[in-house]
Structure 1
Amino acid sequence: MSVLQNNVALTERLKNIRLLVLDVDGVMTDGGLTIGDDGQEYKTFHAHDGLGMKLLKATGVNLAIITGRTSEVVKKRAESTGVAHFYQGAEDKLAALQDLMKLSGLEATQCAFMGDDVVDLPPMLKCGLAIAVPDSPDLLLKHAHYVTKKQGGRGAVREVCELIMQAQGTFDGQMARFLTQASISN
């Protein structure tokens, strides 16, 4: 039985989502910070997450990033995955979220925030859907509406994108083009 069949309240929250807001380190990445001798910061992103973000965006759900760190590589990742709103160096993530909601005209119930640490708790608690990755601190897990099965940087974002599409009835439509391509090539 799927997560959505088991949890009617979660499904209702997912149906309302018009904006998925993501933290970066620990959500879009595995949380490791690799810094070279030259001071250059390196991050590893999962390809499945990127495609999931593009597919979700194609259904009309917008994407945003709110991160406390500043990184050129994150800016490039945001651009390549169709992220509409990008806040980096955000010491107050709740203030950034409130600015984003005002800018987009969305209500809190239409927003989901996905985080991995206690600095993400204020915006998570403000949103209609609070999502955490499984290795988050207990306090975050306690307040999350949904905890992903996959780890941050290992497909957790894709998992959430697919859940939103399934709840909103857009998943099959997004997958149809891949199935059609496969049947043509056989």
Structure 2
Amino acid sequence: MQTLTPELQARAAKIKLLVMDVDGVLTDGRIFIRDDGEEIKSFHTLDGHGLKMLQQSGVQTAIITGRDAPSVGVRVRQLGITYYFKGIHDKRAAYAELREQAGVAEDECAFIGDDVVDLPVMVRCGLPVAVPEAHWFAKRHAAYVTQRSGGQGAVRELCDLIMQAQGTLDAALAEYVK
């Protein structure tokens, strides 16, 4: 388990909704394009299981992404992510709509991103998070930078951090060693 600073503990304890970017966060940021134009993305199973555990603990999950790749829609359905905003050019407006739909305040939202296009959400949410490969300006506005890379368990690290702060992680993990 991580050692959380009092400020990080307080921020993470309030989270009711985790919002994620996709490319560079749930993936390593590379996009493979087949000759027919189909995009291929690679997702990490650690992130997927972390999201399922987080959802079971009562935290809602959402994606706001600028791209519209069919593979992301498949992954959203596989993971049971409730809110999916795709092809978004104005993340600020999508974030406001999302919060209204989810019924949460800004300080009850965490967001994990990797680039300046994520800043309109990062500067408004209660827990802004960046991955290590994020643009330096995005990292400057993050309250936390994950140790794990995008597409390599960064989202799982954040899920564990939130659950740890909310006191739900130990019980969730204990279920696997009964």
Q: TM-score, normalised by structure 2?
A: 0.98
**Structure 2 equivalent of residue 88 of structure 1:** 86
**Structure 1 equivalent of residue 44 of structure 2:** 46
- How many angstroms does 1:103 deviate by? 1.2
**Structure 2 equivalent of residue 2 of structure 1:** 2
1:77 aligns with 2:75: yes
Q: CA RMSD in A?
A: 0.9
Aligned residues: 178
**Structure 1 equivalent of residue 170 of structure 2:** 172
Which of the residues 25, 29, 33 maps onto 2:23? Answer: 25
2:2–2:161 Cα contact (<8 Å) kept:
no
> Which deviations, in whole Å up to 9, do the C-alpha atoms of 1:128-183 show, x marking residues without a partner?
01000011111111110000000000000000000000000000111111011xxx
**Structure 2 equivalent of residue 109 of structure 1:** 107
Which of the residues 144, 153, 157 maps onto 1:159? Answer: 157
> Which deviations, in whole Å up to 9, do the C-alpha atoms of 1:25-74 show, x marking residues without a partner?
00000000100111110000000000000000000000000000001110
Report the secondary structure of 2:104's partner residue: coil
Counterpart residue identity of residue 168, structure 1: Q
**Structure 2 equivalent of residue 124 of structure 1:** 122
Report the secondary structure of 2:129's partner residue: strand
Percent identity reads 49
Q: Which runs of 5+ in 1 are unaligned?
A: 181-186
Question: Which aligned runs of 4 or more in structure 1 are off by greater than 4 angstroms?
Answer: none
- How many angstroms does 1:81 deviate by? 0.9
Counterpart residue identity of residue 104, structure 1: A
Equivalent positions of 1:6-17 (< 5 A) are 7-17=5-15
Higher-Rg member (1/2): 1
**Structure 2 equivalent of residue 146 of structure 1:** 144
Counterpart residue identity of residue 84, structure 1: T
Higher helix proportion (structure 1 or 2): 1
- How many angstroms does 1:19 deviate by? 0.2
2:44–2:152 Cα contact (<8 Å) kept:
yes
Report the secondary structure of 2:36's partner residue: coil
